[in-house]
Structures are given as structure tokens and as C-alpha cells.
A and B are shown apart, each in its own frame.
Chain A
Amino acid sequence: MNAPAYNFAYLDEQTKRMIRRAILKAIAIPGYQVPFASREMPMPYGWGTGGVQVTAAILGPQDVLKVIDQGSDDTTNAISIRKFFAKTAGVATTTATEDATVIQTRHRIPETSLHANQVLVYQVPIPEPLRFLEPRETETRRMHALAEYGLMHVKLYEDIARFGHIATAYAYPVKVNARYVMDPSPTPKFDNPKMDNCPALQLFGAGREKRIYAIPPYTQVVSLDFEDHPFEPYRFNAPCALCAAENSYLDEIVTDDKGGRMFVCSDTDYCEGRQAAGHHGSLSAAPYKDKAQEASNG
């Protein structure tokens, strides 16, 4: 039988070269989606194969890797991907944002500010911000070529006409370096401002859709909006029940079937760090009441 034997960080060198060339182009053209010949990975498409290929192409033995899903190091998919690299590349792993040199993420940007010696690798399901307005690749590619983004503004404006607000809560489109409209991956729009002028390099990998794109460090990233309807990041207006943080993105935990809710940081490393530093929240499930929520939710 042709027994399998695998390379450092799983990918063969030819594949890594191809991905590395795509990454360099992506950095040189911020926000532009570079097509690449994505490989079948040993995890399903849609489960982070793009991020995994980008990480595999950049990772070296000196790196310290952190993997998060929904902000947490402990979600099953984050564990699975972290173990994959610990096994195939033997790299050190960490849950501490500050200590990581490469952070692979799904759906969140860490609360702790990133620094210049870090690379943030996003897993991207649908890289094309215009895809839900125009399903054809040939059309969306032309729109990017001409920087013809009127359709996106029309969509956002229709939201305002219908709901009074832009009805996009995550994967909120941004414009990179005043040129390309880009999908930030399905991060909550709360995280969008963190992408702007970020000291770390941000790389985006979409495996199934075969695209890589990037935001170089210190690059302007602007969330699309209108003068009379400016972009507003959403955050549930309450302190974290565990660490009392007032500026972190919160998960809503249903604690019973009588309307009980509590809100805790989605970034587990940030929350644990604060608790270790002596910050404590209410620690118990505060009864959730519609009225109270309405009063506090901005």
C-alpha cells in the first residue's frame, strides 16, 4: 500500500511555494483577493482549510502558535487545528495572545492589542464581499477592477430605508487602503476597528473559494457607512460577568429555561488574564429581564 508520509507543517514544498507567492502578492495589493490553487486538506472545506494552508506556509520551528475559534482557545475546532500543527510542525503553542507569533482565528480578533511581531491568520468562508449581491465571479471581479462599489452602498442604504439601520452585524464590509472593498471574514462588526492601522500583519485564507488576501501592518481599513448613518460597533452593554470588562465582546450564555442569561467575554484568554489580575465580575447568572436589557442595550 502507498503508505502516507507527510512533510513539515503537512503541506509539500511545491504547495508552500505556490501559497507563499500568493501571500506576497496579497500583501503588495492590500485587500485584493489573490486566486490560489487551494489543496484538499485533511479537514473539511469550510472548517478552516484556507487559514490552515496560510499558517502551514508561514509557520517555522521558532513560531509560537495560538488558535482561536469564537475568541476561545478551547472550542473544539480550535483545539483540533492547534493539535494538527503541534503534531505536523512540532511548534510551541500558547493561549496567551501576547506570546503568540502566529494567531489563527475564526470569527474574532483578540481583545489584547496585537504587536508588530505577530501575524493574524483569518479563516474565511466567503471571501467576496459582493457575493451576496452578485453571485457571479466574472461580475464581481469586474466590479473590483473598476472599483465599482455602488451596489454595496445601495444594499446598505436599502437596509437603512427598511430597518432604520445598516442590518449587517458581522462580516461587515471594509475598504482597505482606500481601494478594495474587502470581507473581514465573519467577525462581529465590533472587531472592525481593530483592523485599522494594526501593527500586525493580517492574512486571510479561503480554502474552498481558493483566495488569499491581506492587510499589511499600519494600513487604513474603513468600515463602509454613510455620513448620516455612521458605522457603529455593537456590544452588549454590560460588564463581563467573570472579569467585569466593560470593553470586550460578550457571549450570551443561557443559564436556565426561565429567561436567565449571563454575558461573558468571548475572548477567553483576555478574560482569564483579567481575572488573574484581580478583576472579578458578578460571577453568577444575573436574572435576565427584557426591561433591564432594553434599558442598557445601546
Chain B
Amino acid sequence: MYVAVKGGERAIENAHRLLASARRGDQSVPEISLDQISEQLGLAVDRVMSEGSLYDRELAALAIKQARGDLIEAIFLVRAFRATLPRFGASEPVETGAMRVQRRVSSTFKDIPGGQILGPTFDYTHRLLDPSLAEGFVPEAPATAEASTAPTPRVTDILGRDGLIESSPQAEEGASVGDLTREPLNFPADRDLRLQNLARGDEGFLLAMGYSTQRGYGRNHPFAGEIRFGEVEVEFSAEDVGFAVPLGSIELTECQMVNQFKGSATEAPCFTRGYGLAFGQSERKTMSMALVDRALRARELGEEALAPAQDEEFVMSHSDNVQATGFVEHLKLPHYVDFQSELGLLRKLRREFTDANAPDAMKEAAE
């Protein structure tokens, strides 16, 4: 006698209890704290804040802990929380030119006003596993100096002064800021929505897309005009108050790519721009984003859009790792109703195929 499968509810509860236990691991090992995650796995927290679209180190650290270090799962947790938050409005644009810079490099000029600042970077480290980090490592105190008061103008602004790079498009005064979390996306999408999509987009996806442009699939001759990382002030203009109120400061990474020039009979040639911005220190992400942003401007700049990275629908529809992981992983859900229907059709087609291809003798005998 056959009894249909039951007890799903109990199975779910037990699975989640097991998950909680596996998450904690061996209980003789001390539990990791949110501070430890935030301080010692800071770049993971930065990524979760960026792609989770929520600047909150503590919640991002909690998400990473809850997700057992699975960053896409952590991003998903942060996004689902963010979706329930009331939205009061949009901040004033942050002034990255006034950033308190911790790191700032340009590959286009040997020296620039304000100087090149290496800051905390993996660049030029030799990638040798360091056993001394395994336990009890106490780093040397970092070298310090008086904070420089010299202004650090953006390299693209320096180029812009001579008209060597296209001017950065300015939004109209009072124009509303697009928000793809509030308005369904339509194509073609404007650059504000494209940049928002890329800022929330998966780092790995953008990395591969950006890389593909370097290898010739939509090449755009990039130079890393400038990458800067540091703190900026966020201000909010409340309608009733009449002036901008400071909300606090956040850490950002900004990348400005200087790309192949355009020009025509009526327009002097100049470099073009690609832009990347992310929360925290996220250089790989912002550089990839800037490459893809530039690639997606093909239509606007009158270039032929033939490569995947230039294809707005393709890039924007597949960049979001929360969407992608959900749909890929939904294949785990039962599909046996559909499969059954497909199976029935396949059996029928196979039977007809067999009948049609049976040796003539058999056919005659059957007749």
C-alpha cells in the first residue's frame, strides 16, 4: 500500500534547526561577533552593503553571520529588510571632490594636485600565504602624518577644464531621481537607472562583463583616470526645512574611467567617461562598473552595440545576483507536474518514432 509523502512541515523545522547548529559549528570554538566581522572582514561587509543597497555595517555584519559567510545570501537578507523600510526621499548628490581621501590613484598622470595616495591596498603585496596571520598577529602601528589640507580635485575635472573630456551630464534642477526599486524598469533605460542597476549588480558579473570589453567584445580603450576611496558627507534636503541637513558620513569608492574619444565634423574630439561608485572600499567593483557603464553608453554615443556588455537589456536583466540566484536555485523546487506532462509527450513521440521506423517486415506482419 502506498502512502503519499507527508510531514513537510516537520522536515522544514528540523532542517532549519540543523542549519542553525551547522551555522554555529563546533561550540568549543568561540562565537564570532558582529564587531569582529565588521572590523576584520570589512571588505565583505562593504560588498554586502553595496549590493544589498543599504549602508549599515552592523546589519551587513549580522547578515554575513546569519548567512554563514555566503555573501549573496547575506545581500539577499539585507535587500529583503531594506524593501520594508519607508522611503523619505533622495539625499543631495554627494560631493566626492570633497572626499576625505584615504586612497587615491590615477593611472593617467604621474602626479596630480593632492598627490597619489596608496592607502590600504592589496596592490604590490606579494600573494604569499602568511602563516604569522594564523594567530596572535599584532600589526605594526601604521605610519601617520598630518592630514593634508591640499584640495584633491578629480582628475576628470582637470581634464574637463581643457575640454579634453566630455562634460559630465548635469541633471536638471529639481529633476526626480530614478529608482528601480520603486518604479518598474523599462527599456531603454536612462543612465541614472543603469548606474543604479550596476551599483546593485553582482561584482562577479560586472567583473566578467568589464573584462570582456577589454578583450575586444565592445572595446572602449579605458584608462583609470582616478580611483578614490574615503569619507563623504551625506546631506538631505527636507521640503519643510528649506536647507540641507547633514545626515552623517559614509565611506565610498569612486572610479572614473577615461575612455576612447569621440568627435565629428561639428564637434571637437574629446575623451568619454565611464563611472563606478560603491559603498566602502570596493575597487574591483567600481572599476568593472565604470567599464560596463561606458560600454552601455554605446547607443548614446552613436557606437554600434554588438557586444554583450553593450547590450542594455542583457546586462541590466542579468546583473542582479538576488534575482539570479533565486531563479537558478528555484530549479530545486518540485517540478514533477510539468515533468510528468513532458514525459507523457516524450513517450508518445518516441512510440510514434518507433512505429514509423519499424522494419517493413514487422509492419507488414503487424498489418
> What is A's interface to B at a CB cutoff of 8 Å?
1-2, 4, 6-7, 10-12, 14-15, 35-42, 44-47, 49, 69-72, 74-80, 83, 106-108, 125, 135-138, 163-165, 167, 169-171, 186-190, 208, 210, 234-236, 241-242, 249-253, 255, 262, 264, 266, 268, 283-285, 293-294, 297
B345 touches A165 (CB 8 A): yes
Interface check B325, CB cutoff 8 A: yes
A2 touches B56 (CB 8 A): yes
A234 touches B341 (CB 8 A): yes
**B79-87, B156-164, B201-209 - interface stretch:** B79-87
Interface check B326, CB cutoff 8 A: yes
How many of chain B's residues touch chain A, expressed as a range?
35 or more
In the complex, 9 of the A-B residue pairs with CB atoms within 8 angstroms, ordered by the A residue number, are A39-B181, A74-B7, A167-B345, A170-B338, A170-B342, A188-B341, A268-B4, A293-B347, A294-B351
Residues from chain B with Cβ under 8 Å of A10 in the complex: 84
Interface check B190, CB cutoff 8 A: no
Binary contact readout B6-19 vs A (1 if CB under 8 angstroms, 0 otherwise)? 11110110000000
Binary contact readout B323-367 vs A (1 if CB under 8 angstroms, 0 otherwise)? 101111110011111101111110111011000000000000000
Q: Across chains A and B, which 4 residue pairs bring their CB atoms closest together, nearest first?
A: A45-B326, A46-B330, A44-B326, A35-B184
Known: A40-B76, A44-B326, A46-B330. A70 touches B336 (CB 8 A): yes
Residue in A closest to B342 when the chains form the complex, CB atoms: A169
Residue in A closest to B346 when the chains form the complex, CB atoms: A169
B313 touches A136 (CB 8 A): yes
Residues from chain B with Cβ under 8 Å of A79 in the complex: 8-9, 12
Interface check B141, CB cutoff 8 A: no
Selected contact of B76 from candidates A44, A167, A249, CB within 8 Å: A44
> What is B's interface to A at a CB cutoff of 8 Å?
1-2, 4-9, 11-12, 56, 58-59, 62, 76, 79-84, 86-87, 180-188, 313, 317, 322-323, 325-330, 333-338, 340-345, 347-349, 351-352
Residue in B closest to A268 when the chains form the complex, CB atoms: B4
A251 touches B336 (CB 8 A): yes
Residues from chain B with Cβ under 8 Å of A11 in the complex: 84
A165 touches B349 (CB 8 A): yes
SS of A interface (majority): loop
Say how far A279's CB is from chain B's closest CB, in angstroms: 15
Say how far B250's CB is from chain A's closest CB, in angstroms: 16
Residues from chain B with Cβ under 8 Å of A35 in the complex: 184-186
Residue in B closest to A41 when the chains form the complex, CB atoms: B80
B327 touches A208 (CB 8 A): yes
Selected contact of B11 from candidates A47, A69, A76, A188, CB within 8 Å: A76
B337 touches A108 (CB 8 A): yes
B348 touches A165 (CB 8 A): yes
Known: A188-B341, A234-B344. A284 touches B330 (CB 8 A): no
Say how far A146's CB is from chain B's closest CB, in angstroms: 17
B337 touches A234 (CB 8 A): no
B2 touches A6 (CB 8 A): no
Say how far A273's CB is from chain B's closest CB, in angstroms: 14
Residue in B closest to A72 when the chains form the complex, CB atoms: B4
Residues from chain A with Cβ under 8 Å of B180 in the complex: 37
Known: A38-B184, A80-B12, A138-B187. A297 touches B323 (CB 8 A): no
Residues from chain A with Cβ under 8 Å of B62 in the complex: 1
